[in-house]
Structure 1
Amino acid sequence: MMTEGMFTNYFLPGIWITIQVTLYSAALGVVVAFAIGTLRTSRLWIVRFLAGCYFEIFRGMSALVLMFWLVFSLPLLLEWRLVPMFAGVLALGLTYGAYGSEVVRGALAAVPEGQREAGIALSFTRWQRLRRIEIPQAWPDMVPPFNNLLIELLKGTALVSVITVADMAYAGNLVRLGSNESAPIYTLLLVLYFLLAFTLTRGMRVIERRANANVGKPQPRGGLLARLSLRENAGEGSGALTTGGAAK
């Protein structure tokens, strides 16, 4: 039977390892996403081609198999071994960074062409246009899909347990073997992953509201009821306008 000591000695360290893997992989993924995403909007075809090759390769590659390759095959080629946690972070960051690069590319492509032309008219360099004009306007459109990718990344961290990284999934398997109970342990794992995902979602919603406010699109803060009330008020206003128009 699972005891409090098992939770303290196994699950709590596993939760911390899962959080670390998620944060480190997300940081690497964001760097890769912005680098590859912006390169895919370059005017030079060779740059777009190379960035597109990275995107297609890592989008079509299994993160689990990449972890195995980094841990077991790379040492045979280079004669040095990666720490399992570093290999897991590298595989997840490179893979999810490829997914994120498509988000960045699409958001940058949605910026009105007139904004780019205004930057050119002001003699901005490509980097200045990205930093001052394109990315600030595209950022609010990136946050919701980044939120989804972050949740997928959190759940994908369970893969590192197969390369002996002591995350929550690894700790759960150890406790299951020690207590010979499966249902309560895996139920607890489901609840823990949900709580972490819910916390990340709340944080990303705050970032989304601030990003929209920075470009003049504030979001209602009252949740679902406030949104419904806002829609009802908008419907009443449109109805009043229609009635007034008919009376005229």
Structure 2
Amino acid sequence: MMLMVELLPALWRGTVITIEVTCLSTAAALVLAIAAGLARLSPLRPLQWITALYVETFRGTSLLVQLFWLYFAFPLLLDIRVNAMTAAVLALGLNYGAYGSEIVRSSILAIPRGQTEASIALNMTPWMRMRRIIGPQALAMALPSFGNLQIELLKGTSLVSLITLAELTYQGMMLRSYDMSRTTLILILILLIYFGIAQLMTRIIRLLERRFVVGRS
């Protein structure tokens, strides 16, 4: 018990930072996913090409390398310095936003074409069609996939310890370096904390799913 009391304050500080990075990165990824997903469906070819370049670049390269580029390389190339938190949120947001854009695009394409044609016949503007007809249905279909992506993002936050951000994994490794005999206990606690956060996120997504199903029925 005394060991737990000694370890928990540092792990709690790391947990708070992990949750902060997760929330900020999720918000950034969601905005980028919606913007890029809609852009991929735009009739403007240059916009499609630019968005495709972004999506394929961030899906096709390592998140760890992207973190290192934002934190170490950009300051050298462009003389733009970002702190570890900003680099972490940007890298995670850009990376998972690229994956999320494909969820948005596929969800919109899954809406039956007849509904779009019917809304056009009713003289709805593109914005009205998206807000009233396509958007709610696409969101309901996308929620399970976005929930899985959010869990992946949470697990990806452990990589930001490598750019000196003192999140949960970083704090655990620092505690371990002080006393190697506590390694097993520290790693078990880290696993339990990540699991707890993931379960909370899963429950929130499921509540949203049920709400949207009820709203559509």
Q: For the superposition of Structure 1 and Structure 2, which TM-score range results when normalised by the shorter chain?
A: over 0.9
Displacement of 1:44 in angstroms is 2.5
TM-score, length-scaled by structure 2:
0.95
Displacement of 1:3 in angstroms is 4.6
Between Structure 1 and Structure 2, whose CA radius of gyration is higher?
A: 1
Q: Distance in 2 between matches of 1:46 and 1:162?
A: 36
**Unmatched tracts of structure 2, length 5 or more:** none
* Residue 188 (structure 1) aligns with: 189
* Residue 215 (structure 2) aligns with: 214
Task: Please say if residues 115 and 133 of structure 1, whose CA atoms lie closer than 8 Å, have aligned partners that are also in contact.
Answer: yes
* Residue 167 (structure 1) aligns with: 167
User: Once superposed, which parts of structure 1, at least 4 consecutive aligned residues long, lie more than 3 Å away?
Assistant: none
Task: Please say if residues 63 and 95 of structure 1, whose CA atoms lie closer than 8 Å, have aligned partners that are also in contact.
Answer: yes
Identity of aligned residues (%): 47
What amino acid does structure 1 have at the position aligned with 2:5? Answer: E
* Residue 246 (structure 1) aligns with: none
Matched, 1:106 2:106: yes
* Residue 33 (structure 2) aligns with: 33
Displacement of 1:123 in angstroms is 2.7
Q: Secondary structure of 2:81's match?
A: coil
Q: Which structure has more RCO (C-alpha within 8 Å, separation ≥ 6)?
A: 2
Please show how residues 11-160 of structure 1 align to structure 2 within 5 Å. 11-160=11-160
* Stretch moving more, 43-52 or 22-31: 43-52
* Residue 203 (structure 2) aligns with: 202
* Aligned-pair Cα RMSD in Å: 1.3
TM-score, length-scaled by structure 1:
0.83
C-alpha offsets along residues 185-234 of structure 1, whole Å, 9 cap, x if unaligned? 11111111111101110111000101111111xxxxxxxxxxxxxxxxxx
C-alpha offsets along residues 75-120 of structure 1, whole Å, 9 cap, x if unaligned? 1122131010110010000000000000000000011111111222
Q: Distance in 1 between matches of 2:13 and 2:129?
A: 44
Q: Check 1:53–1:93 CA distance in 2 against 1; reply closer, same or farther (3 A cut).
A: same
Q: Distance in 2 between matches of 1:128 and 1:41?
A: 17
Displacement of 1:5 in angstroms is 2.9
Displacement of 1:45 in angstroms is 2.6
C-alpha offsets along residues 31-78 of structure 1, whole Å, 9 cap, x if unaligned? 000000111112233322222221111111211111111111111122
Q: Distance in 2 between matches of 1:111 and 1:3?
A: 52
**Unmatched tracts of structure 1, length 5 or more:** 217-248
